[in-house]
Amino acid sequence: MEYVYLPRIESPADLKKIPRTELPRVAEELRDYLISVISKVGGHLASSLGAVELTLALHYTFDAPRDKIVWDVGHQAYGHKVITGRRDRLPTIRQYGGISGFPARDESPYDTFNVAHAGTAISGALGMAVARDLKGEDFHVIAVVGDAGLTTGVELEGINNLGTLQKKVLVILNDNKMSISRLGPRLLRLSKDLVESAKTKLIPGLVFEELGFNYVGPINGHSVEDLLNVLAKVKDSPRPTLLHIVTQKGKGYPHAEKLPVKFHGVTQFDVSTGAFHKAPTKAPSYTSVFGKAICDLAEKDARVVAITAAMQEGTGLDEFARRFPDRFFDVGIAEQHAVTFACGLACEGMRPVAAIYSTFLQRAYDQVIHDVCLMHAAVTFALDRAGIVGADGPTHHGLYDLAYLGALPGMVVMAPKDENELRHMLYTSPSWPSAAWSIPASKRRRNSRPRESEPPSSTRGSSSRSTRN
């Protein structure tokens, strides 16, 4: 595609010089540029493709960085980076010396809040709005939240407090009916109740109105004209406003539209075919070894259940979910609930394995202490992405698990040196009152064939650290 407008845009001020009628063309160019670059370097693609028109409408309507735009998680913010002066640096994204894969305050004044873990946008935006009013200043605050974000407790806490304080904040609900993994039907229905009830003819916006919000929508999130019109109407509302837009994850790239989960986070791929260029490997990942091992264990022990927090694929539980659907639980982006839920299962004799990224278990530290450790519950935590994870940066490094778990009473902390030890640890861990072990982010060493799991003579070895306080 020949870029007519994109090379001219170094800031939102340049975007505003383009005639409004030409913004759909800008959207096409931006979407094409994102696909072209990310196909070569990898990154979070589908979410950003779905937010292209919203990105343009926000920067065309508001005066960033004076007006504060807070993106929840940040997977959808690649277009925002391009429009705010980082177009030529996009090929360096998620690389050493390059730009971050998420909004980062030290990278650009347009990135008003560091994000990467879900659920922080509304609370952060509310804090900015309160500070604005206390200082007697006048600017807009906008929080952009995905529909899956409504399953996080902190997002609901933020909604409740914002409705109570009645501060001037615009919350944009980007409804693409997705999280990273598709939520289970009950959880998906729960998260949709808030938005679906607002669509009905009998009680339009009732739920959000009862929470203290003006509700507007739903509107087509891929129509720049519709977005500009509604943003002009709601931007000066003195009350909290929730604007509900409907988008398609992966919009504009057929392969991503068809397989939005697969194209959520991508490695290099062929644009024409959608085929990924996989680097040759001689060994499976630790995650895949874990996925097979937990299935083997579940075959032998009907008490074994698996829990994840909206990361079914990322934690290697795809096969388990297919083979043991009654014993698989994706609780959504709700790590605190996941841990206490696992504890309840353990109290009744089940053997729960909570597969959670190391960085995300930090969100449930109180539950690990209060619920699991103090009750000596037989909960196994399989912490994926341990250690330095590389491209996702400091928000996703699993550097702290050994320290924050090793200090807890009764917690056994282990890290496998190879795939066989991983299998042994998984086999043995249900016999401990509580156990956590880290799955490194790197590939395993191919030093031996995987053997059938058996209880080792001791979990205390060259690769493990134990605490029995």
Per-residue pLDDT reduced to its tens digit, 31-70: 999 999 999 999 999 999 999 999 999 999 999 999 999 9
Share of the chain above pLDDT 90, in %: 53
pLDDT value at residue 52: 96
Which residue ranges make up each domain of the chain?
Answer: 6-266, 286-466
Q: Is pLDDT above 90 for 402?
A: no
Mean pLDDT, residues 19-38 taken together? 96
Largest CA distance in the chain: 73
Mean pLDDT, residues 164-185 taken together? 75
Name the helix (H) or strand (E) containing 242: strand 241-246
- HSE (CB half, 13 Å, CA atoms) of 265? 14
Q: What is the pLDDT of residues 259-311, one digit of tens each?
A: 988 888 888 899 999 998 877 666 788 899 999 999 999 999 999 999 999 88
Give the pLDDT band of residue 333 (cuts 50, 70, 90): confident
Mean pLDDT, residues 140-161 taken together? 86
pLDDT value at residue 204: 40
Q: What is the pLDDT of residues 200-225, one digit of tens each?
A: 433 445 778 888 899 998 899 999 99
**Residue whose pair of structure tokens reads 């109105």 in the numeric block:** 209
Annotated catalytic residue: which of 132, 177, 351, 363?
363
Annotated catalytic residue: which of 68, 132, 249, 327?
249
Q: Is pLDDT above 90 for 16?
A: yes
Higher model confidence: residue 274 or residue 442? Answer: 274
Q: What is the pLDDT of residues 97-145, one digit of tens each?
A: 899 888 889 999 999 988 877 778 898 999 999 999 999 999 999 999 9
Higher model confidence: residue 394 or residue 169? Answer: 169
Distance CA 437, CA 262 (A): 27
| Residue 195: exposure state from Cβ atoms within 10 A (0-12, 13-18, ≥19) | buried
pLDDT value at residue 437: 60
Distance CA 144, CA 330 (A): 24
Q: Is pLDDT above 50 for 237?
A: yes
Range scoring the smallest mean pLDDT among 33-37, 350-354, 405-409, 464-468: 464-468
Q: Considering the domain 286-466, what is its CATH architecture?
A: 3-Layer(aba) Sandwich (3.40)
| Residue 27: exposure state from Cβ atoms within 10 A (0-12, 13-18, ≥19) | buried
Is residue 249 among the annotated active site residues? yes
Is residue 282 among the annotated active site residues? no
- By the 8 A CB rule, do 28 and 63 touch? no
Distance CA 418, CA 448 (A): 9
Distance CA 123, CA 294 (A): 37
Residue 174 CA, distance from chain mean position: 14
Q: Are strands 265-266 and 434-440 parallel, antiparallel or unpaired?
A: unpaired
Q: What is the pLDDT of residues 1-15, one digit of tens each?
A: 899 999 999 999 999
Q: Which of 198, 138, 150, 137 is nearest to 177 (CA)?
A: 150
Beta strands in 321-430 (DSSP E): 328-330, 351-357, 379-386, 411-414
Q: How many CB atoms lie within 10 A of CB 238?
A: 9
pLDDT value at residue 469: 47
Residue 429 CA, distance from chain mean position: 28
pLDDT value at residue 170: 97
Q: How many CB atoms lie within 10 A of CB 444?
A: 22
Q: Which of 334, 357, 42, 62 is nearest to 80 (CA)?
A: 62
Distance CA 5, CA 464 (A): 57
Domains 6-266 and 286-466 share a fold: yes
Q: In what order do the strands lie in the sheet with 304-308?
A: 328-330, 304-308, 351-357, 379-386, 434-440, 411-414, 464-466
Annotated catalytic residue: which of 29, 53, 335, 419?
335
Q: Is pLDDT above 90 for 17?
A: yes
Higher model confidence: residue 160 or residue 197? Answer: 160
Give the pLDDT band of residue 449 (cuts 50, 70, 90): very low
Share of the chain above pLDDT 70, in %: 86
Q: Is pLDDT above 90 for 355?
A: yes
Name the helix (H) or strand (E) containing 27: helix 23-41
Find out if CATH 3.40.50.970 is the number for domain 6-266.
Answer: yes
Which pair of structure tokens corresponds to residue 430? Answer: 């249900």
Which pair of structure tokens corresponds to residue 124? Answer: 């952060």
pLDDT value at residue 162: 94
Is residue 443 among the annotated active site residues? no
Distance CA 310, CA 357 (A): 11
Mean pLDDT, residues 424-453 taken together? 63
Give the pLDDT band of residue 407 (cuts 50, 70, 90): confident
pLDDT value at residue 200: 43
Mean pLDDT of the residues in the chain: 85
pLDDT value at residue 152: 80
Q: Is pLDDT above 70 for 404?
A: yes
